[in-house]
Structure 1
Amino acid sequence: MVLDITNPPSDSRDHRQVVWNERFAADVKHKAQMWFREDFGLESDWTSRALVPLAAKSSLAIVVRMNGVIAGLPAVEVVVDEFQESLVWAAVICDGDRVQAGDVIGYLSGSVSSILQIERVILNLVGRLSGIATTTRHLVDAIQETSCRIYDTRKTVPGWRLLDKYAVTCGGGYNHRMGLYDAILIKDNHLAALREEGVSPADAVRRSREFISRAFTADRANEMVVEVEVDSLGQLANVLPALPDIVLLDNMSIDELRQSVALREKKFPEVILEASGGVTLKNISAIAKSGVDRISTGAPIHTSSWLDVGLDWGSVSCAEHE
């Protein structure tokens, strides 16, 4: 794994959560080299070299142009350090902070040429991650009167999963499984592949439990969450006696969600219910009020708009031209 990840203390059956640490920073450092190659290729920034005095220095503010929630500032520090130029980055707020249009989030000081070369990488990084955090916060705020939680999905940009999921946590959301390696999630496609064997959702849960007991140590087995997807009340009734940790209720109506909660409460209150599919800012409150424990949605990551972030230049001192 790239990260140290921890389970939220409220429920040992929950998924692991992304946290910022040195191992995460090392992953961003690796990505930064790719981002630099995208801009410079194997050559240079010829515009800056043609026009900007070599000794020109400046200090600029990174400013948000719209209201939102910030994410990605520790990653900016890594990117600046990895650029290997005499630049200094100083954040003045923290990830997860709400901001208003015009707020300064940090200052970048040093060589004007270097600033011009690195600015787009920084703005792309903060703009994208802050957009995810902002969209997540809107969803979280919409259900704040309930105990329901918002979770992300694996619908992330390839190579950006840890950053995308980190941004979700900055917006007050929670991380679903990191990948295929840290939980069992029995989807409709798994059941379709086993249709000729007549495997029901309950059968799949039991088979998964048996596999876990054989394949993993006791400690790892206890950490392995088993979740199963159903799309009807009949499937839910079938799977509840098998006691999965979580049942994902896929694309159910609000009335079906309420009935699912009532069915669960009768005999299997320990099973977590997760609603998913068709989640929007308009309907998320009604979904949460149905009584489900959690809502998973890819919307914060794959439908969010970037937060508009820009640079405000200070004075430029110049001694010589390149």
Structure 2
Amino acid sequence: MEISVPQVPPPRWSEDQFTEDAAEAVRLFREVRMHEPLEQYLEQFETYQNAVENLIEGTVGLTLLRDQAVDLLTQPDVLTSVRYLASPAISEDDLKVLAEAKLTPTRLREDEEMAKRVIDTVLLGLDRNRFPWVSEDREATDAEREAAVIATAALIATQKVQTLRRNDAKDEQEDAVAATLKQHGFTQVPTRSVSNVSHLPNLGEFCREALFGSRKADLIVRLWDGRAMPVECKVSNSSTNSVKRLNNDAAVKAKTWIQEFGTATAVPAAMLSGVFKVHNLESAQADGLTLFWAHNLVAMTDFIEATRP
């Protein structure tokens, strides 16, 4: 049975508090960033060094790319290497649109002309600095091939490591929030779509990766007073990146959730780590987003505990 209790307002932080927490988050970001193992980059580099070498040698200096389109594009590492022949590299999503193609192995094998169209699209953006022999219609020298392999493998490895770092940091943040909730008496329940309050987890329960209204939340926490706290986990590696993740994503979701559920039902929140500017934090808070920090999970649990009857 639902218990009616006075609703405790979510915490709101002052400029000085934001300044202090933002500085601590940056300090921790630097500490983690500078101690990340080089092995991750080297592993990615070795993988794609081999892939690019085989790509160049197997296609006779890239001259047979179209002839081998299907075989090449149905190998994940080679598909990635092909995308990075262009400068700047073409993402899979962009390549699908630009080449009007599906990049699944099954579809590529079914439609050889589509596979060739993908190659043609990449070749339109071919980096002439890395692969000068192609546009000059001649054989590559050994030095040119070696330089092209190293440069391309380095580009791919750098991007792969950055992506892995972002994903790992976000996953770690979500796991930390979930573990903290469990330590404070919450039970994790299966993911669900919440279109109205009847679909919410019960009091003292939470779920992960759930649709809350029209927008997805990383977690939905059912507070002890009955309100729902959709939580977005945001990791930023720069102040520019923070605007995208905090103000243009989490804060926009907060506005949507408040419009759909009202402040009496929804307490939109974000869990932050990394680099954030104070004025962006203040702007997000003004938009109705409750902000917590991964280095101070106690602030979140204090608020949650305050909602107990």
**TM-score scaled by length of structure 2:** 0.29
Tell me: higher relative CO, structure 1 or 2? Use CA pairs within 8 A at least 6 residues apart: 1
Which structure has greater helix proportion?
A: 2
Larger Rg: 2
Which structure has greater strand proportion?
A: 1
